[in-house]
Structure 1
Amino acid sequence: MSVRVEAVTPPVALGEGPHWSTKEQALYYVDIFAQNVHRFHPASGTHSTLHIEGGPVTFVVPHVDELNTFVVSVGRDLALVIWPDTAKDATITSPTAIIASVDHTHEDNRFNDGKCDPLGRLWAGTMGNTDVPENPLPYLGSLYHLAEDGKVTRVLDKVSISNGLAWSEDRRTFYYVDTCEYKLEAFTCDLEKGTLGERRTIYDYRAGGLYPAFPDGLTIDTQGRLWVACFGAAKVHCINPRSGKIEDSVTLPTDHVTSVTFGGRDLDELYVTTTTKRLNKEQLAAQPSAGAVFRVTGLRTKGRPNADCKFCTK
């Protein structure tokens, strides 16, 4: 079967943070500066939106037990929100509860990518007030770990643009992207303690000739390979962390690819978020599906289920 790429949602300005809910068989993702959480349910074809006031919303993770309850970022805050009916549009003027606020000495910072580890604990990183890797406000962000009891711990500092996260099947390796480093990196990790150890480079985008395109969000398949969105190259690259080489790639019909996750009933469909940002009028006319979510089928691989958040709400 050949690989097929199709747009499955209308375009948004800055699609990011895709999370496939295996319980609902639905895709959640965000439009960061519009402050919207989107839900796409392929079986019914329904597409609904939750608007959250208060600041940029950069990721969404369903709660593992609480129905229609989600952990989201709102600016520099981690927040708990309730979406009364996820099949219908809604607006929240303020989050249900603020779990934690971070980066108090850098008030212009905001959260960026976030994801739960296999134990259901949230990891999320921040960045300075920029989204241009070529001219960042460097090293103002950090990577944080949210325990089930609500305690937030900084696990990595001096981050510029915190992005893609994934864990190996044996849970001993954490994969990570700080976009401004133009690298896909790996850390040894202790999930029980929520700590990181030795750091190494898996793939250097400059050395690989991909610059000025850069790595963004990522996911992992059942073979342990990493599928990394490459912003500026219209590509998702499949990188084998054992060899440090690109083994496969998917070409999208728009330049700026932001993040990826596996979904579908068998987790064999790759969902890809994109953006219209940094496209001029001529590029937008040539790329009318920019900002859509794309579904990629025929890859002959499967992903692992996204972990929902086990944060204690009581």
Structure 2
Amino acid sequence: MGVEVEAVTRPVQLGEGPHWSPREQALYYVDIFKQDVHRYHPASDTHSKLHIEGGPVTLVVPHTSKPNTLIVSVGRSLAAVTWPDPTRDLTISTFTTLATVEPGLPGNRFNDGKCDDLGRLWAGTMGATDVPDNPSPHQGSLYTLGSTGAAMVLDKVSISNGLAWSEDNHTFYYVDTAEYKVEAFTCDFTKAQINERRTILDYRTAGLYPSFPDGLTIDTKGRLWVACFGAGKIHCIDPQSRQIVDSVDLPTSNITSVCWGGANLDELYVTTTQKGLTAAQLKAQPSAGAVFRVAGVGARGRPPKDCCIALPA
């Protein structure tokens, strides 16, 4: 049948952080600077939005045991928010802060985040910086969220992005976008520690510059599916050969992240952005900022994990 690419939502400004909920059979994602969490339910083709006052919202993960509760970022904080009816639009200004980091760096904010197989949230920060220009590098860090707050896992990060773990949890995959690399670390999963950093694919030496890696996910064969910002592609990378073994073209250039979804976890849901596009490019790419569903890639993912952190009573 071949690969099928379909826009399934209306465009937003900066779509990011897709997370598929197997329990709800719904996709959550964010519009960062609009401070919105979006929910798309494919079976009913319905869409709802939670607006959160307080700062950029860059990640969203449902909580495992508290109904209608989401773990989100709000600026430099990680927080729990309640959305009483996720099928209806709502604006909130109150939330439960679980951790705040980097008080001496008020220009920083959280960026990408994801839960591991134990339901621990790993989330990284970034400074007021961008690529290809990076005037203030190494202002961010990568953290894990626990009951006593956030613990640093990696420092001197510029733009913390895609995260994934191998099936045996011995390898942690990571993107610092300003490094233009997809990287791997040896992971001590019990202690939530990483070391032995190495490069899987350098986008500059691979001839992919000035496009760069953004969010990513992993399939059941251990291959990485990486959003390539600026190239309108999802790259499938084999970590063993360190080669791009497949790719998917999308009708807009600035691809931000990707996750597995659908009843069989064999569809890719892809977030995109209008950010960085000129007026002429936006006219030529009317679906920029939409979420795309990609079917027929011949791969599937493992069930994503919700967050299990103990919440205050």
**Superposed pair shares fold, TM > 0.5:** yes
- Output one character per residue of 1:127-171: Cα deviation in whole Å (capped at 9) or x when no partner: 001233423410000000112x24311010000000000000000
The CA distance in 1 between the partners of 2:231 and 2:142, in whole Å, is: 26
Contact 1:133–1:179 (CA<8 Å) still a contact in 2? Answer: no
Q: How many positions carry a matched residue from both structures?
A: 312
- Output one character per residue of 1:172-194: Cα deviation in whole Å (capped at 9) or x when no partner: 10000000100000001112111
Contact 2:252–2:285 (CA<8 Å) still a contact in 1? Answer: yes
Secondary structure at the aligned position of 1:138 is classed as coil
2:178 corresponds to: 180
2:59 corresponds to: 59
- The unaligned stretches of length 5 or more in structure 2 are none
Matches within 5 A, 1:95-244: 95=95, 97-147=96-146, 149-244=147-242
Contact 1:136–1:160 (CA<8 Å) still a contact in 2? Answer: no
The CA distance in 2 between the partners of 1:135 and 1:176, in whole Å, is: 19
| AA of the residue aligned to 2:173 | Y
The CA distance in 2 between the partners of 1:308 and 1:133, in whole Å, is: 33
Deviation at 1:93, TM superposition (A): 1.1
Match of 1:252 among 250, 254, 258: 250
Secondary structure at the aligned position of 1:303 is classed as coil
TM-score normalised by L of structure 2: 0.98
Matches within 5 A, 1:272-311: 272-311=270-309
Secondary structure at the aligned position of 1:266 is classed as coil
| AA of the residue aligned to 1:301 | A
- The unaligned stretches of length 5 or more in structure 1 are none
Contact 1:150–1:311 (CA<8 Å) still a contact in 2? Answer: no
Contact 2:130–2:178 (CA<8 Å) still a contact in 1? Answer: no
| AA of the residue aligned to 2:139 | L
- Output one character per residue of 1:21-64: Cα deviation in whole Å (capped at 9) or x when no partner: 00000000000000000000000011000000000000000001
The CA distance in 2 between the partners of 1:136 and 1:112, in whole Å, is: 18
The CA distance in 1 between the partners of 2:116 and 2:52, in whole Å, is: 25
1:81 corresponds to: 81
| AA of the residue aligned to 1:240 | D
| AA of the residue aligned to 1:239 | I
Secondary structure at the aligned position of 2:280 is classed as helix
Percent sequence identity over aligned pairs: 68
The CA distance in 2 between the partners of 1:223 and 1:134, in whole Å, is: 35
The CA distance in 2 between the partners of 1:232 and 1:313, in whole Å, is: 39
Shift of the 76–82 alpha-carbon distance from structure 1 to 2, 3 Å rule, reads: same
The CA distance in 2 between the partners of 1:285 and 1:197, in whole Å, is: 45
The CA distance in 2 between the partners of 1:291 and 1:137, in whole Å, is: 27
The CA distance in 1 between the partners of 2:17 and 2:302, in whole Å, is: 16
Q: CA RMSD in A?
A: 0.8
TM-score normalised by L of structure 1: 0.98
2:47 corresponds to: 47
Contact 1:213–1:233 (CA<8 Å) still a contact in 2? Answer: yes
Contact 1:188–1:199 (CA<8 Å) still a contact in 2? Answer: yes
The CA distance in 2 between the partners of 1:173 and 1:204, in whole Å, is: 18
